[in-house]
Chain A
């Protein structure tokens, strides 16, 4: 019974969190940042001024295709910016986190911490 109660409370907390931030916006935020590669990109950029495509690829141990697809989605949401240039003859893609991206990561961290607090209290 206690477990069942805890479950309900926890679900309520999750919905409550979404409600607090405005349902549709929170759901959108989850989809964008919640995915592992995208969460990795945003987290890595949060502690670096900028990172190149190759650095991110090595760091997140992912493929070229996978990284570019996820980076593109974050770019479309304006969470990161992408600058393409040439270093000698080699093309170079440099990513940076935007203020909106940093805020999104902070909200996501708050969300996760609130979930943990809520289930502990329950």
Chain B
């Protein structure tokens, strides 16, 4: 008798629990992103330091060298943390989500490298922050098409900051680079690290 009296609640709870389990499994299974959150936070911190250093350089050559140095540091941090994250979930780095992201992310970076050379030669160094931010953002929008929504959203934010840099005064360049490569990396990196497995 007692068993029958308490039956409906557990039945209802079990059904709810099962639905919750299905939803959570689907979220976790569908929401893996190869983008390493903590790696981005680290890149953001180095970018803030680079923005500070770059702002104090006296020649365009030294300014460019500072940011190219930061690009190499960021590439090393981003690449190594991406490999580490893939290993942590037993994902093959060359065939899992990392590969899909890499293939979409790479073309805008190559274009960025080529445009950097052209703009520098043409003496248009002030156009570089906007170009870099826009193309970096484009990489995340295209790479993020195969990832969780937060990745392309971050890309759009980079593109917005890049647009401001491209059309705003040249003096804003380092501030916007700090806001984009520093601020956006740190904020979105933390969200990705907390919600999407590191």
Q: Residues of A at under 8 Å CB distance from B?
A: 3-4, 6-11, 14, 34, 36, 39-40, 43-48, 51-52, 54-55, 57-60, 87, 105, 109, 112-113, 115-116, 119-120, 122
**Contact status of A113 and B90, CB under 8 A, knowing A47-B29, A87-B95:** no
**Contact status of A112 and B95, CB under 8 A, knowing A43-B25, A119-B8:** no
CA of A119 to CA of B14, assembled, Å: 12
In the complex, are the beta carbons of A112 and B15 less than 8 A apart? yes
In the complex, are the beta carbons of B26 and A119 less than 8 A apart? no
**Contact status of A40 and B5, CB under 8 A, knowing A58-B89, A112-B18, A119-B11:** no
Chain A nearest Cβ from B99, distance in angstroms: 12
Q: Residues of B at under 8 Å CB distance from A?
A: 1, 4-9, 11-12, 15-16, 18-19, 21-22, 25-26, 28-30, 89-92, 95-96
Question: What residues of chain B lie closer than 8 Å to A54, measured between beta carbons?
Answer: 90-91
Known: A8-B4, A46-B26, A116-B12. 15 other contacts (CB 8 A): A7-B7, A11-B7, A34-B18, A39-B18, A39-B25, A40-B21, A43-B26, A44-B28, A47-B30, A48-B30, A52-B90, A54-B91, A55-B90, A113-B19, A122-B8
CA of A10 to CA of B11, assembled, Å: 8
CA of A46 to CA of B6, assembled, Å: 34
CA of A36 to CA of B21, assembled, Å: 9
CA of A3 to CA of B26, assembled, Å: 35
In the complex, are the beta carbons of B21 and A39 less than 8 A apart? yes
Interface of A is mostly: helix
Chain A nearest Cβ from B42, distance in angstroms: 24
Chain B nearest Cβ from A60, distance in angstroms: 7
Chain A nearest Cβ from B157, distance in angstroms: 26
| Contacts A/B (CB < 8 Å), 29 sampled | A3-B6, A4-B1, A4-B5, A7-B4, A7-B5, A7-B6, A8-B4, A10-B12, A34-B18, A36-B21, A40-B21, A44-B25, A47-B29, A51-B29, A54-B90, A54-B91, A58-B89, A59-B25, A59-B29, A60-B25, A87-B92, A109-B19, A112-B16, A116-B12, A116-B16, A116-B19, A119-B9, A119-B12, A119-B15
Chain B nearest Cβ from A50, distance in angstroms: 11
Question: What residues of chain A lie closer than 8 Å to B22, measured between beta carbons?
Answer: 39, 43, 105, 109
CA of A78 to CA of B18, assembled, Å: 22
In the complex, are the beta carbons of B19 and A47 less than 8 A apart? no
CA of A60 to CA of B11, assembled, Å: 24
